[in-house]
A and B are shown apart, each in its own frame.
Chain A
Amino acid sequence: MEPVMAVVVGILFAASIYMMLRRSIVKLVIGLILLSNAANLLIFTIGGMVRGLPPLIAEGDKLPAGGWADPLPQALILTAIVISFGVLAFAVVLIHRAYEVVQEDDLNKMRSTDT
């Protein structure tokens, strides 16, 4: 599965970078969302992909029965998902504010910091 996911992650990254290079600020937002998904999947893929062995211990046991998927990347990604939501909200509102002030959605025209 990993080689396939590697390609998927690559495509996600490419799509996000492409969107972030657009001059429309709305496309920048879409690029950001794609970027966080790509990053999360990247960590997940590198952590190793195992089917049907969640890192949960059945009641009465001391270890997950029959092996486990690595829980550490999962913990990292879990917080990353929530943080990326917070950051996305921040970015979106910031962009919205910038648009309101400048009345211009072309990033190339938002060059001066004084407006």
Chain B
Amino acid sequence: MLLAVLSGFILCALAPWLTRSLGDRAGWLLAILPAGLFAYFLGWIPEVIETGAVTLQYPWIPGLDINLSFLVDGLSLLFALLISGIGTFIIIYAGGYLHGDPYLPRFYAIMFAFTAAMLGVVLSDNLLTLFVFWELTSITSYLLIGYHHEDKEARWCALQGLFVTVAGGLALLAGLLMLAVAAGGEYTLSGILASDGLQEYPFYTAMVLAILAGTFTKSAQVPFHFWLPNAMAAPTPVSAFLHSATMVKAGVYLMARLNPALGGTELWFYMLGIFGAVTMFTGSFMALRSTGIKAMLAYSTIMALGTLTMLIGIGTEAAIVAAMAFLLAHALYKAALFMLAGVLDHETGTKDITRMGGLRRAMPITFVTACVAALSLAGLPPLFGFIAKELMFEATLHGGALTTFTTVLALLSAIMIMAVAAIFALRPFIGARTETPKSPHEGPLSMLIGPVVLAALSLVFGVAAFIPEAALLQAAVTAVHGRPVDFHLYLWHGVNVPLLLSAIAIVIGLLAFRFWDAVLAGFRRMPFIDRLGPERGYERLMDGLVWLAEWQTRVLQNGYMSNYIITLVLTTVALTGWTLFVHTGTAIPLGDINVRIYEWFTVGLILAGALFATITGSRLTAVAALGMAGFGVALVFVEFSAPDLGTTQIMVETLTVILLVLVLYRLPAFVNFSSPGTRLRDALIAASFGGLMTLLILVVHDINVAEPISDQLVQWSYPEGHGRNIVNVILVDFRALDTLGEIFVVGLAAIGVYAMIQLRAEDRRQ
């Protein structure tokens, strides 16, 4: 299992090289990995049906109790199969779609990393690893959306997607941590699902809202839906995979996963029900408004995500069954439709569906496949989408307090999606042949195999609904609902309310298709809709951030060195001084002043050196005074049992003087720039800092927070370290890694000096 999840990362490293050496065939060969994973996950089905859920554990950071543990049950297996199965076709498809693209190796690399991250999300048992994989999907999808990185628009869209999902990810992290705390420090999903009483957790509302902030942004729920259509800047294989079948479903996955633990409350019910239903409606409405073939599908994806969220929120047995069936149906038809959209775009050279027409002769296979997939999207028999849609109506009709609300919105959405499906399946293919930028012909095998197989599956699952039901959906529903549910999927339910609703949707939807041009024109007369979107809010926020950054840069980073220092010093003095005052009050322990005569001399040496260095007007005096203070410090070390320090200090003092002699004389003489007032102000600031440090030492000296480790080090020094100079043993043995870092710093400083001087020499030569 560990290998299964991580193999994507391994192949990610190899993919660029393989792609380069294999050339055109790379797509087919690389697809072996996801295909193999698909087979592997298929092999899990019997065990999951048998036992319900299996957890596997691999220690990762045992010291922090972070394990790579995996939870395999119906839900995660359903997702894993979708990811690996659709992933297989996407990889093959990308080989055709991006044929000859110079960045293809990079594409494969990121794609595999994404696939692995996605598998990690749906299979992780540990909350923290789940979160890590979750963020990895955000990052990899950012790279994939911004695939055409020369295009400013694509970069902007990618960044938008990243900001929205990562901002949600932060909230999610907070939510997951609260979840773990609420479950009594339990970081495994299996443990959390087994613990009850999470609903009584005092911060339940905050926890749910934080988690939902993460899942809603990821799954593009209103009002965060705007990033998803923009993510269509990605190449079509990416859109088909990430933004229809996988990444956006991560949010749905998490909500489904946590449903048994968090669901069943009014908050959960209303949040998911209302936001889901509104998202569903918005998505289908925007889909009908779009003319871009990918935008249309993107909005219909938002519709599907909204539907899933709504169904999970309703939470009845019927709703969960509907959600799982809908999930499967949507993944199958949407991936197929997206790939077909890519075929159309690839072969005609335009993405605008109003400019396509009469392609059925040129692209017969595409036409038939599009019809089948679109039938499933529209929810017509005998496709699997029909079963899913009937179940959805069934669920909304028993939606508790939200029955009317959800049913009306579901019906409206179904009407509009019916029209969208018809537009997609028929508009480009029938009617008169229109001029397109490229002369169209059938797409290559690599680009058609995916849609054909997926569309065929939609059909097979529809006719023989017992196959997915027995294989997966039963187990998945059990996982989401928390206990087994007895249900059976049928194509024909008899004449009932859902069927009537479907019929209404079909009739009105077809009418909308018939008069689509008029509908579009109507939408065009309402341009204010564009201005309503929350995307404006996002832009405002981003502009505001930039403005804030500029403002604070102007104020804080104003270029005056002294301002920086004053800010730092005063902040430190205020914060530390305040803490010191709160903790110890005004009673500062003085300790015993037991000073010998020669020690007074040393102290005098240091102070006189520091004082002269500060007030003198000559550089030479300053250097000499500094040397005096430095040797005074060395004397302190020697007098107080630190011979090594004393020696080091003396050597460094000597070298410092050499350094200053070499450089300082090439610098200007002391000049007094500041006024007496400024000097007084600086003196006061400096004195406040010095005073604070004095007080700190006096207070800290008597405090022992923890038992010092030094005594241990002393006792180990000879027996373990074979050394009698304890300081040296610490440096080269006990804390060798620390010392290594320190000598690297010294080395870097030397290289920096060398580089700066060399640069100057080169400047001169020019």
Taking Cβ atoms with an 8 Å cutoff, the residues of A that contact B are 1-30, 33-34, 37-38, 40-42, 44-46, 48-59, 61-64, 68-72, 74-75, 77-79, 81-90, 92-97, 99-100, 105-108, 110-112
A68 surroundings in chain B (CB, below 8 A)? 641, 714, 726
Question: Of the candidates A18, A23, A50, A54, which one forms a contact with B614 in the assembled complex, judged by CB atoms under 8 Å apart?
Answer: A18
What's the least CB distance linking A70 to chain B, in Å? 5
A74-B642 contact in complex given A15-B613, A34-B613, A108-B560, C-beta closer than 8 Å: yes
Whether B566 is near chain A, meaning CB under 8 Å from some CB there, is yes
Assembly CA distance A39 to B682 (angstroms) = 20
Nearest neighbor of B644 in chain A, beta-carbon distance: A78
Which residues of B641-674 are within 8 A (CB) of A?
641-645, 648-649, 652, 655-656, 659-660, 663-664, 666-674
Nearest neighbor of B594 in chain A, beta-carbon distance: A1
A53 surroundings in chain B (CB, below 8 A)? 641
Nearest neighbor of B725 in chain A, beta-carbon distance: A56
Q: Are A83 and B719 within 8 A (Cβ)? A: no
Q: Are B636 and A5 within 8 A (Cβ)? A: yes
A94 surroundings in chain B (CB, below 8 A)? 756
Assembly CA distance A13 to B578 (angstroms) = 19
The 3 A-B pairs of least Cβ separation, nearest first, read A14-B690, A111-B559, A10-B694
Whether B66 is near chain A, meaning CB under 8 Å from some CB there, is no
B756 surroundings in chain A (CB, below 8 A)? 93-94, 97
A24-B670 contact in complex given A54-B641, A81-B645, C-beta closer than 8 Å: yes
Grouping DSSP codes into helix (H, G, I), strand (E, B) and loop, the B interface class, with mixed when no group exceeds half, is helix
Q: Are B591 and A3 within 8 A (Cβ)? A: yes
Q: Are A96 and B663 within 8 A (Cβ)? A: yes
Whether B163 is near chain A, meaning CB under 8 Å from some CB there, is no
Q: What 8 additional pairs, Cβ within 8 angstroms, besides A15-B610, A90-B752, A96-B663?
A: A17-B685, A30-B622, A33-B630, A46-B700, A81-B648, A83-B746, A87-B749, A112-B559
Taking Cβ atoms with an 8 Å cutoff, the residues of B that contact A are 558-562, 565-566, 569, 590-595, 599, 603, 606-607, 610-611, 613-614, 619, 622, 626, 629-630, 633, 636-637, 639-645, 648-649, 652, 655-656, 659-660, 663-664, 666-674, 682-683, 685-687, 689-695, 697-698, 700-701, 708-710, 713-715, 717-719, 724-727, 730-731, 735, 738-739, 742, 745-746, 748-750, 752-753, 756-757, 759-760
Q: Are B718 and A10 within 8 A (Cβ)? A: no
Assembly CA distance A72 to B555 (angstroms) = 42
Nearest neighbor of B709 in chain A, beta-carbon distance: A72
Q: Are A23 and B694 within 8 A (Cβ)? A: no
Assembly CA distance A11 to B692 (angstroms) = 10
Q: Are A57 and B724 within 8 A (Cβ)? A: yes
Q: Are A75 and B698 within 8 A (Cβ)? A: no
Q: Are A71 and B727 within 8 A (Cβ)? A: yes
Question: Of the candidates B656, B672, B687, B718, which one forms a contact with A14 in the assembled complex, judged by CB atoms under 8 Å apart?
Answer: B687
A52 surroundings in chain B (CB, below 8 A)? 641
A72-B640 contact in complex given A3-B593, A19-B614, A24-B671, C-beta closer than 8 Å: no
What's the least CB distance linking A107 to chain B, in Å? 5
Q: Are B701 and A9 within 8 A (Cβ)? A: no
Q: Are A57 and B717 within 8 A (Cβ)? A: yes
Assembly CA distance A52 to B596 (angstroms) = 13
Question: Of the candidates A2, A54, A95, which one forms a contact with B591 in the assembled complex, judged by CB atoms under 8 Å apart?
Answer: A2
A78-B645 contact in complex given A11-B607, A29-B664, A86-B749, C-beta closer than 8 Å: yes
Assembly CA distance A83 to B738 (angstroms) = 13
